[in-house]
Structure 1
Amino acid sequence: MIKHLARLRLFALLGGLLLASACSAAPDTAAPFTEGDQYVTLPAPQQRLSPEGKVEVVEVFSYGCIHCAHFAPTAEELRKSLPKGVVFKLLPAPFNDAWMPFARAYYAAKQLGVVQRTHLALFKAKFEDNYPINTLDELADFYARQGVNRAEFLRIANSEAATAQMKKDFQLLQKWQIDGTPTIVVDGKYRSGHVKSFDELVKLTRWLVDRELVGK
């Protein structure tokens, strides 16, 4: 079973910014996955990451999570294989103080347009090559090695906009009832639950995507 590294806890950020603080069809006995076990139908109304009309697959992750590192290559293959009308998105989880720099790094990388070419590289540098990548300064060093302007990276990562985005995204994680990573959310309606392997997580995601595509 995939072990969750992180559990939600309440903490304050920057003097008062509080970060931590289903309407489903009738059960189908022929379904390959069980509601309430392998996946959970989230409470209505539907809470999506973005308003765009495509079916949305969101991976909740952290660069500080070794299980996310192990899942990352599989998630990339999943992203590439999703059918037309489906979009794959990433959402960083600042579940504890140690993971907040990784969330800020993602927001900066996204704004700088370098996520696609640095996402797997960051996991590799941290967990395979054993670079000391934990603080925002160490993350800035990593992105600088990838050709990113270090000062600009730090400016964006430390900005009020990044803080506001972190707060907004964390509120969404709470609505999705997420307490660990990696977790998949499909269309803001279904959340992965107890799966035994990454392969099962991928199969579950594709099955939920197919259900949503039929519904649309």
Structure 2
Amino acid sequence: MTAKLTNAQIAWRAAQDIADGAYVNLGIGFPEMVAKFQPPGREAIFHTENGILNFGEAPPAGKEDWDLINAGKKAVTLKPGAAFFHHADSFAMVRGSHLDVAILGAYEVAETGDLANWSTGPNGVPAVGGAMDLVHGAKRVAVITDHVTKDGRPKLMKRCSLPLTGVGCVTRVYTSLAVIDIDASRFVLREKLATISLDELQRLTGAELRIEGDLADLTVPEL
């Protein structure tokens, strides 16, 4: 298969679409990287389910304050104006549609916008956590993911085979090969790596890719 983007490059590309002043929740693990790549002149306000608003970058090694952690139990710093609140208040923010964007990882995404990002299998995420609330509470839901599984199977599919996190909730997917919108229950290809042909990209995708308007090259910096 052709060369693909690294996780950091996928996270960088997703960060470019976050508006200045947006309230953003990042899923545990890979999506947390998005916070590193805010474009110059823009500043998102990051929310974590365990009760912090406006946290900053991870502290240097050895300088962690373990009373300040995100939902993934990773140490964070605070920005001026940061706030603490009860776990219940945090979920009231989510369920009350006060978040502009949620960016999550995925095992599978369907062309209908359905998302599966947890599994009952032995090697999967064992519980859905707050993701079900996030995908239906945030105003926009995006996914960052490798385009295929470790054994080469498509992660973008006609229908999900794993337990669903949300139905019809995802609007854009940033993968290691492309940027794809979900519009009217269809995968609409917006950007792809110049090094991969449309035929190969389609072969690695489990549902039809449609092109509407101009198709741009997916370009990212070396990171």
Task: Give the strand-richer structure, 1 or 2.
Answer: 2
Which structure would you say has the larger RCO, counting Cα contacts within 8 Å and 6 or more residues apart? 1
> Structures share a fold, TM > 0.5?
no
TM-score by length of 1: 0.29
Q: So what's the TM-score if we normalise by structure 2?
A: 0.28
